[in-house]
Amino acid sequence: MKKALSIILLVAICLSSTLAITGCRRGEDECAVLYYTYSDTYISSVRAEMDRLLDKGGIAHHNYDAGGNQTTQTEQVDTAITKGASILIVNVVDTGSDDAARTILEKAKQASVPLIFFNRSVSENIIKEYDRCVFVGTDYEEAGRIQGRMIGEYVRDNYSKLDINGDGKISYVLFKGQQGNMEAEARTKYSVEICNSVLAEAGLSPIVFYDSQNRDKYLVDQDGTWSNAAANNYMKTILSGHSESNKNMVELVIANNDEMALGALAALEEVGYNKSGSRHIPVFGVDASEAARAKINSGAMTGTVKQDSAGMAEAIAHIADNMINGRDALSGIDEDMKVGEARVNIPYSAYTGEDE
Amino acid sequence: MGDNVSVNDGIFKKILHPLKKRFDDFRQLEPRDKLKRISALILDNAMLIIIVTAIIVIAILRPRFLSVASVINIISLTAARLPIALGIGGAIVLTGTDISAGRAVGLTACISASLLQSSGYLGKMFPNLSPLPPILVLLIVMLVGAVIGLINGFFVAKFKLHPFIVTLSTQLILFGAVLLYLQIGDNGGQTLSGLDRSYIDFVTAPLFKISGIAVPRYILFALIITALMWVIWNKTVFGKNMFAVGSNEAAATVSGVNVFLTIIGVFVLAGALYGVTGFIEGARIASSASYTGQGYESDAIAACVIGGVSFVGGTGKISGIVIGVLLLQIIFVGLNFLSVDQNMLYIIKGLIILLACAVDMRKYLKKR
């Protein structure tokens, strides 16, 4: 017993010291990339692409995982600066207020390290406070708009098929990723609003939330992690009370991102929907993750909005290279994507599987 | 040896003689036993060896690791995590634990922030409330924390429930409370920010500067709390009772210790310290949301274990907890300095905790 324990301990000691030593490949003056969480599928695809591009460009870099916690990230910024980072590339955790981003910006400014915020929205007022700060993101309202238009057109073209209980209305459920996140708020708002305006143009009645008691008209991931599991749990609960035989089946599923869409889809599949030969409840997401595209191509899911992860990584790596080498931050960036002096928008597009 | 004998006699007896004896004993051992003895020595001091090696290796490879800015950074990170660890330490001495600590920090951080938003800030939770004096808010959240601790302690002491179960329940209840609290007024679940300058300065204003690098005030908070806790643990009847209950509850009862009040006291004290942590977190990060404090207890528990506060109960030192928290920070900042892959960080963290626990238990296995 004691001997076994000793061996385990010795192995652990050796392992952790080798880990520590094999880790030191890169020098100081590296580029520090801070991700809000490693658990986000879309962000992981940006990360993979960014790692590849930075390696290719010979830019030393180190990634940080904030694990969805602003405290961790703010501390990582301190560590990166004291370590001597040449540039900070930050995917900020908390977008519900300006203060988290401002704190990071002030730290960068004080150390006069250039700063790129990306993906998760940082308001323009903040970016303006530091002349070596750039935001690479998307027009955060655009994803919701594109999703809304896509849903509206689909529902318009398939109205009678979708209206399972024949009450002349399409009942929907909406999964919101996070309370207080600007992207989540916009997607929640525009997906329904624009869908309804498309329907109104065609003279059709607007979609209605499946639960008239719910005044929010959405179900939110309480942990704020836009997770598959949260949507899956909600959807299972819904399906236990809503069915075709009860004449109150949910007829449309809208999710703020693909993870949640896939979670809801899994719950539907479990009770026999959305399989080949069975009835399909349309499910819409945002992100165009690998998994969602596969589901769309196989016909189980209906549509998503493609956020161009490769395009985003490319723009960030390019700007980082500019900033490190003292060139104008946005030189060489496509004019169409520039918004003012310090913002680059990566365009979205609808994805329904036809083009691939 | 001649004349030197009398001069060296004292030193020889005190230091050299026992060492020489140990060395002689060692030489007489069989080669197999020698190996055993060496590995035992290494294992007993494993944490220390790893840390010292780590600091030396990191400092050689990345000299900036020991720069003033970096050292202050590590000390600040340690200071921010000390109060919660000192609180949990007490629960562990009682052979328990407290996994509600992180959520208690979250709730108290949100309460602190909401009471100290600057007037006129758009989206203020209590629009008509002008910011209170920070010290008053500190007392309020310490009280809130103490009430949480009282609930935890009561259920542990009264119904003899395992603290893990009690605090698992309160953890969930507190998270619900945080979510509800964030819905108050027009806040609608949003992050609390727009904090009043008086609050931020109260916590983070520079105490003084070392070669241009500011030393934040909460380091002073941590020092005061550590000193207070040292006195409580070592110089008061309550502290002695805590260790007595932790090492043998039945014996403590027989010798007249009020076990019920001691357990409640430990949790109340811990709760008040979570309040302090929440108060510091609110200002330090400047935005408090539902996720604030999530998982803090795991780092605090790990720090205590690394610092020798044993889950067996009845043992632990304040200095050990301070060292534990410091060592965890040194390791994590250091690993980042070495650009160790972030995925590996979680694995290394897990290994270190496992190692620390195993080394700790090994001492007890040996005693038996």
Cite the DSSP H helix spans in B248-295.
249-254, 259-285
Which helix or strand (DSSP H or E) is residue B207 part of?
strand B206-210
**Residue A83 contacts B where some CB pair is shorter than 8 Å:** yes
Q: What is the mean pLDDT of chain B?
A: 88
**C-alpha to C-alpha distances, A239 to A169, A208, A273, nearest whole angstrom:** 19, 17, 11
What are the structure tokens assigned to A28, written together?
């100081």
pLDDT for B309 beyond 60: yes
Whether residues B191 and A38 touch (CB distance < 8 A) is answered with no
Q: Is the dihedral of CA A309, A310, A315, A321 positive or negative?
A: positive
pLDDT tens digits, chain A, 356 residues: what are they? 555 555 555 555 555 555 544 444 444 578 999 999 998 888 988 999 999 999 998 899 999 999 888 989 999 999 999 999 999 999 999 887 788 899 999 999 999 999 999 998 888 889 999 999 999 988 888 999 999 999 999 999 999 999 999 999 999 999 999 887 888 999 999 999 999 999 999 999 999 999 999 989 999 988 888 999 999 999 999 999 999 998 999 999 999 999 999 999 999 999 999 988 899 999 999 988 888 999 999 999 999 999 888 899 999 999 999 999 999 999 999 888 898 889 999 999 899 986 54
Whether residues A23 and B188 touch (CB distance < 8 A) is answered with no
State the Cα torsion B140-B142-B144-B145 to the nearest 10°.
170
What are the structure tokens assigned to A167, written together?
């009450």
Beta strands A283-284; A252-255: pairing state: parallel
**Residue A226 contacts B where some CB pair is shorter than 8 Å:** no
Residues of B in contact with A75 (CB under 8 A): 77
Give the residue on B whose Cα is nearest the Cα of A64.
B342
Selected residue with higher pLDDT from A130 and B364: A130
Whether residues A25 and B191 touch (CB distance < 8 A) is answered with no
pLDDT digits (tens, 9 = 90+) for B63-117: 889 999 899 999 999 999 999 999 999 999 999 999 999 999 999 999 999 999 9
pLDDT digits (tens, 9 = 90+) for B310-327: 888 898 999 989 989 998
pLDDT for B275 beyond 60: yes
Determine, yes or no, domain membership for B29: no
Determine, yes or no, domain membership for B27: no
Distance from CA of residue A52 to its chain's centroid? 20
Query: What pLDDT is recorded for position A11?
Result: 58
Query: What pLDDT is recorded for position A29?
Result: 74
What are the structure tokens assigned to A254, written together?
């809208």
Query: What pLDDT is recorded for position B179?
Result: 87
Give the residue on B whose Cα is nearest the Cα of A16.
B348
Whether residues A68 and B291 touch (CB distance < 8 A) is answered with yes
Please tell me the distance from the alpha carbon of residue A68 to that of residue A87, in angstroms, as a whole number: 22
Query: What pLDDT is recorded for position B185?
Result: 79
The answer to whether the beta carbons of residues A143 and A151 sit under 8 Å apart is no
Q: B43-52, B172-181, B265-274 — which is least confidently predicted?
A: B43-52
Please tell me the distance from the alpha carbon of residue A22 to that of residue B235, in angstroms, as a whole number: 47
Its pTM stands at 0.74
Please tell me the distance from the alpha carbon of residue B55 to that of residue A40, in angstroms, as a whole number: 33
Per DSSP, the three-state class of B45 is coil
**Residue A39 contacts B where some CB pair is shorter than 8 Å:** no
Q: Which of B76, B284, B352 sits opposite A16 (nearest CB)?
A: B352
Whether residues B194 and A99 touch (CB distance < 8 A) is answered with yes
Whether residues A99 and B286 touch (CB distance < 8 A) is answered with yes
Residues of B in contact with A80 (CB under 8 A): 336
Determine, yes or no, domain membership for B350: yes
Closest CA to A303 of A188, A99, A143, A150: A150
Whether residues B191 and A97 touch (CB distance < 8 A) is answered with yes
Q: Which domains does chain A have, with CATH numbers?
A: 27-137+308-348 (3.40.50.2300), 141-307 (3.40.50.2300)
Those of residues 49-68 in A touching chain B at CB distance below 8 A are 62-65, 67-68
Closest CA to A288 of A24, A110, A5, A46: A46
The answer to whether the beta carbons of residues B69 and A82 sit under 8 Å apart is yes
The CB density around residue A277, as the number of other CB atoms within 10 Å, is 4
Whether residues A68 and B70 touch (CB distance < 8 A) is answered with no
Question: Per the structure, how many domains does chain B have?
Answer: 1
Task: Give the mean pLDDT of B12-33.
Answer: 76
Determine, yes or no, domain membership for B35: no
Name the residue type at position B104.
A
**Residue A70 contacts B where some CB pair is shorter than 8 Å:** yes
Residues of A in contact with B329 (CB under 8 A): none
Q: Is the dihedral of CA B306, B308, B310, B316 positive or negative?
A: negative
Please tell me the distance from the alpha carbon of residue A254 to that of residue A282, in angstroms, as a whole number: 8
**Residue A28 contacts B where some CB pair is shorter than 8 Å:** yes
Residue bearing tokens 């060496």 = B38
What are the structure tokens assigned to B267, written together?
């949790």
Determine, yes or no, domain membership for B42: no
Please tell me the distance from the alpha carbon of residue B322 to that of residue A319, in angstroms, as a whole number: 43
> Domain range holding B229?
67-367
What are the structure tokens assigned to A332, written together?
């060489």
* SS3 readout for chain A: CHHHHHHHHHHHHHHHHHHHHHCCCCCCCCEEEEECCCCCHHHHHHHHHHHHHHHHCCCCEEEEECCCCHHHHHHHHHHHHHHCCCEEEECCCCCCCCHHHHHHHHHHHHCCCCEEEECCCCCHHHHHCCCCEEEEECCHHHHHHHHHHHHHHHHHHCHHHHCCCCCCCCEEEEEECCCCCHHHHHHHHHHHHHHHHHHHHCCCCCCEECCCCCCCCCEECCCCCCCHHHHHHHHHHHHHHCCCCCCCCCCEEEECCHHHHHHHHHHHHHCCCCCCCCCCCCEECCECCHHHHHHHHCCCCCEEEEECHHHHHHHHHHHHHHHHCCCCCCCCCCHHHECCCCEEECCEEEECCCCC
Determine, yes or no, domain membership for B195: yes
Determine, yes or no, domain membership for B18: no
Give the residue on B whose Cα is nearest the Cα of A82.
B70
Please tell me the distance from the alpha carbon of residue B108 to that of residue B145, in angstroms, as a whole number: 7
Determine, yes or no, domain membership for B235: yes
**Residue A26 contacts B where some CB pair is shorter than 8 Å:** yes
Residues of A in contact with B73 (CB under 8 A): 78-79, 82
**C-alpha to C-alpha distances, A200 to A163, A208, A212, nearest whole angstrom:** 16, 13, 21
Give the residue on B whose Cα is nearest the Cα of A24.
B338
